[in-house]
Amino acid sequence: MGKKKGGKAAAPADDFLQTLEDFTSKENWDKFFTLRGNDDSFEWYAEWPQLRDTLLPLLQESSSSSSGSLQILVPGCGNSRLSEHLYDAGFRDITNVDFSKVVISDMLRRNIRTRPQLRWRVMDITKMQLADESFDTVLDKGALDALMEPEVGTKLGNQYLTEAKRVLKPGGKFICLTLAESHVLALLFSKLRFGWKMTVHSISQKRSNLKTFMVVAEKEKSILLHDITSSFDLLSIGRNDNQGSGMREALESENQIRRDCNNGSDLLYSHEDLKLGIKGDLAELTGGRRIKFTLASNFSYRAVLLDAQKQTEPFVYHCGVFLVPKTRAHEWLFCSEEGQWQVIESSQAARLIMVFLDSSHSGVAMEDIQNDLSPMVTQLAPRNDDEAARIPYMMASDGIKKRDTVHEVTSSLTGKVVVEDVVYESTPSNLEGLSPSDLAFRRLVFKRTEGLIQSEALLVEDGEILELSQKDKTVSQSKRKGNKKQNQESSGPLMKVSHDYLASSYHTGIISGFTLVSSYLKKAESCGKMVKTVIIGLGAGLLPMFLHGCLPFSDVEAVELDPVMLSVGKDYFGFTQTDRLKVHIADGIKFIRDITNSETPADGIKFIRDITNSETPSEETSNAVPQSTSSNGDSTTYTVKGGTCPDILIVDVDSADSSGGLTCPASEFIEETFLLSVKRALPEHGLFVVNLVSRSQSVKDMVVSRMKKVFDHLFGLQLEEEDDVNVVLFGLCSESVISESDIPESALILEGLLKCQRPETKQSILEATKKLKCWK
């Protein structure tokens, strides 16, 4: 089976690999096998001489314990000669399946005379038409790896492993040859957790610098939880290569999970785990039972099963499903255990299955979600004498009590852009001096990523009378400037955007990372030096405005490719340029690379690296001089006279194409060449910040790996309320850096520097600093 694009195959296949843009596409595989021909086999992973000594003893052991001839299934067989070698070694009952009709036809013709007992079937390995418990061995040579494309996520891999488990007999072995990428191991180890005895072997290869691992999982009749063992020295194998290090980390992490579970700790179970009886007989109601688990079919879900604490109550429903939209998943009522008990009490159900929706469900019809969930929910329902009893679906609203569309515009670069004012059904309780019923927020949304709020700001009264009628579409630009919130019914108080409150949790996370350089910031403030912050990606301009207002010694420059964003920020979010806050309409990649050049860039900006931190800059070197201003005053180009490089660089740019698994930033901003440009542009005390949004663990691992390679130290902050989608990464250029134990003290320094009018804003930032973790 094929190797994913992230790895390297032997040179002979390089030309053919260019045809495989998608390793899950039947059409691409048909084309690939047609080009190779029926006699041109290729071993994507280890070849027979390397596999033989480890594989044959395993099969012979299984054969001796089998009541008849050993039944072997090879899913995703491709044109590998593995089955032929096994046949020649005496194993006759081998069934080979692949969804490519081209390769199955070729393999049948190649073996029909010499190996007549080999069976070849065209079949999708995620939906195999094979009987339950019909094979003694399922032998996977790269099939799982090929299904785990980042843009596909775990869906196909999960379906395939479910099928492999189903067709395997008790006592049978699932043998998986893999390159052991972290997202593959995460699924494999968790999927074969309860009732499986697992061992990992290392297979050496002569023609490739990639290592192949053989994971052997034996299916038991019990549901015991075993540590995963290995036939090699974990410490030695991880010393000199990333693959070995990744395997060691994955094994240690998984074994710790298993030990914690055996010691009574709870974990996130799978639907299949629950069907095994891991948490008891689910057909029976058990008062106060609460289980966190995952569901997977056409879509994946996080869920919580709750049995009412008082089973003596008269219930309207024996079982119900409660859907929680992404916008409300972080609320106390749904994310806390206490809140969840309140939900089941009000639902009047004896058992409630609370299902959390996320970004992957955006745009999916609710009917399709219910149809997807229905078979799995039925299996989780308690026993009920009334066979006709239905399982109702309840749903929390999207959390928005009122929504007004303030402005819509279509940009040639960004697509449709929407500005909307919303009032939430429940709002933050940390806003002092404001009643929750008074709270309204202004949001910026891109239709291309509708499930992602680009910017969000709190609206507060300005104390003036609103004069602009929403119906008057001919009003001049100047009269609707600023951050007005129109009362569509009648004139009312003028509302403006609050620039000292961070409504977006990731903005809070970004500012909390300034803790890592707070000593330098304090030093700069003390000597009157301006700290230069460059932000790539303007959005609505809320983050630059916050820095401008709450860090008075900061000199902020935003770089934005789309001029429409600047207009939207000015007209609807109160964004204003000053001598300390400037916007460059430019390409962010080029902007940063220009910083590292000694020549003055085309846009008139010249930065000269200055790492003499102790010197106080003169007025000449610390101020930017305007060179030209457009006639409408919207844009000014500045040349920095002998200025310093940026002290802090923030990348917050969404991706126009998230099909590769990366929603933010655009992929160009995490290429190693760009990261190296960033490091050259930053001084020794510099801080690089990336807002990373991705549902793909492999994509996140890749970004983290690249940043670890480039930067001397890496810190990360996981935003818990974002369902593990949003991570803020902080790269540091200095070899000396604060440790995690120093963060509380450094956070106090940052607290003293922040000039926030709202104490709750400062408190939220300080709370976020407690989640900063050192990753390198």
What SS3 state is found at 456? strand
**Structure confidence at residue 312 (pLDDT):** 76
Q: What is the DSSP string of 730-755?
A: EEE--SS---GGGHHHHHHHHHHH--
Contact partners, residue 616, CB within 8 Å, separation at least 6: 527, 528, 529
CA 724 → CA 335, 358, 695, 721, 727, distances in Å? 14, 10, 8, 8, 7
For 405-414, the CB contacts below 8 A with 24+ separation are 406/442, 406/485, 406/486, 406/572, 407/568, 407/571, 407/572, 409/564, 409/568, 411/562, 411/564, 411/565, 413/561, 413/562, 413/564, 414/446, 414/448, 414/562, 414/564, 414/565, 414/656
Q: Which amino acid is at 397?
A: S
What SS3 state is found at 134? coil
Is residue 324 within 8 A of residue 291, CB to CB? The reply is no
**Edge-to-edge strands, sheet with 400-411:** 400-411, 415-424, 440-446, 453-465, 493-497
Give dist(CA 521, CA 688) in Å, integer: 15
**Structure confidence at residue 69 (pLDDT):** 87
Candidates 666, 730, 262; CA nearest to 513 is 730
Question: Same fold for the domain at 20-263 and the one at 269-395?
Answer: yes
Residue at token pair 């071993």: 43
Return the axis-axis angle of helices 182-191 and 155-167, rounded to nearest 10°. 40
The full set of domain ranges for the chain reads 20-263, 269-395, 505-596+641-774
What residues of the chain score a pLDDT lower than 70?
Answer: 1-44, 64-67, 150-151, 205-209, 235-240, 427-438, 450-451, 463-493, 598-644, 658-660, 695, 720-725
pLDDT tens by residue, 316-353: 999 999 999 887 787 778 888 888 998 998 899 999 99
Give dist(CA 753, CA 525) in Å, integer: 8
Element (H, E) at 705: helix 697-710
Is residue 391 within 8 A of residue 376, CB to CB? The reply is no
Give dist(CA 594, CA 740) in Å, integer: 34
Give dist(CA 178, CA 246) in Å, integer: 13
Strand pairing report for 713-718 and 726-732: antiparallel
User: How many other β-carbons are positioned within 10 Å of the β-carbon of residue 570?
Assistant: 20
Is residue 14 within 8 A of residue 35, CB to CB? The reply is no
Q: What is the DSSP string of 464-511?
A: EE----TT-TT--GGGG-S-----SSS--EEEEE-TT---SHHHHHHH
Candidates 161, 5, 3, 169; CA nearest to 71 is 169
Backbone φ and ψ of 42, nearest 5°: -145, 130
pLDDT tens by residue, 677-713: 999 999 999 999 999 988 677 788 899 999 999 998 9
Candidates 728, 763, 760, 736; CA nearest to 748 is 763
Provide the β-strand partners of residue 249. Answer: none
**Structure confidence at residue 485 (pLDDT):** 41
User: How many other β-carbons are positioned within 10 Å of the β-carbon of residue 437?
Assistant: 8
CA 625 → CA 406, 629, 638, distances in Å? 36, 11, 6
Q: The domain 20-263 is classified under which CATH number: 2.30.40.10, 3.40.190.10, 3.40.50.150, 3.20.80.10?
A: 3.40.50.150
Dihedral (CA of 482, 485, 490, 491) sign: negative
**Structure confidence at residue 504 (pLDDT):** 87
CATH number of 269-395: 3.40.50
Is residue 303 within 8 A of residue 378, CB to CB? The reply is no
Contact partners, residue 328, CB within 8 Å, separation at least 6: 334, 396, 397, 398, 399, 426
Residue at token pair 């995690």: 740
Is residue 711 within 8 A of residue 161, CB to CB? The reply is no
Give dist(CA 125, CA 17) in Å, integer: 22
**Structure confidence at residue 601 (pLDDT):** 37
Provide the β-strand partners of residue 361. Answer: none
Residue at token pair 């799995």: 376
Candidates 193, 198, 113, 130; CA nearest to 164 is 130
Q: The domain 505-596+641-774 is classified under which CATH number: 3.90.230.10, 3.40.50.150, 1.10.150.300, 3.40.50.2020?
A: 3.40.50.150
Is residue 727 within 8 A of residue 715, CB to CB? The reply is no
Return the axis-axis angle of helices 242-262 and 182-191, rounded to nearest 10°. 30
Strand pairing report for 648-651 and 119-122: unpaired
Give dist(CA 535, CA 653) in Å, integer: 9
Contact partners, residue 771, CB within 8 Å, separation at least 6: 509, 512, 717, 718, 720
DSSP 127: S
Backbone φ and ψ of 15, nearest 5°: -65, -40
Give dist(CA 307, CA 340) in Å, integer: 11
Tokens found for residue 730: 């902080």
